Amino acid sequence: MRIVQISEGSLQPANRPIFLGDVRSQALVGDESEQMRLNLVRFAPGARTRLHTHSFEQVLLVTEGEGVFSTEQEQHTAGPGAIIVIPAGEPHIHAATEHSHMAHISIATPGDTQLLE
């Protein structure tokens, strides 16, 4: 068993090509699990991901603020408590709105992410 403490101080800059703007993250469950990945990701106002796909289904649980979740066909705004289910292979973006930060917990299995922009 492992207990992870979530705190503002534990979030580190998410310096990966998928992110644009001020994005911070904390791996809650990472390489110690063969079947699951959980990450807390916090976007500053206006920060976002690039358009991308995953080889796995992704579930996002919004924990703070207001976010925008877009595919090539639709766009939704969601706040705390919203659960977004993104099928494997679906091009999408997740972002904070221009006027609010947004944090979500990403729940996924190990796999590949492909940038499309």
Average pLDDT over residues 5-17: 79
Q: According to the model, what pLDDT value does residue 8 have?
A: 66
For tokens 């500053």, name the residue.
Answer: 44
Q: According to the model, what pLDDT value does residue 31 have?
A: 73
Q: What number of other Cβ atoms are within 10 A of residue 106's Cβ?
A: 19
Which pLDDT band, with edges at 50, 70 and 90, does 114 fall under?
Answer: very high
For 10-115, CATH gives 2.60.120.10
Strands (E), 17-99: 19-20, 23-29, 37-43, 48-49, 52-54, 58-65, 67-71, 75-78, 83-86, 92-96
Q: According to the model, what pLDDT value does residue 7 have?
A: 67
* pLDDT, mean over the chain: 92
Q: Tell me the domain boundaries of the chain.
A: 10-115
Residues facing 96 on adjacent strands: 67
Please tell me the pTM assigned to this model.
0.90
Asked whether residue 9 carries a pLDDT value surpassing 80, the answer given is: no
Per-residue pLDDT tens digits for 77-91:
999 999 999 999 999
Task: Find all residues with CB under 8 Å of 16, minimum gap 6, and list them.
Answer: none
Euclidean distance between CA atoms 38 and 54, whole angstroms: 15
Per-residue pLDDT tens digits for 39-50:
999 999 999 999
Q: According to the model, what pLDDT value does residue 33 have?
A: 75
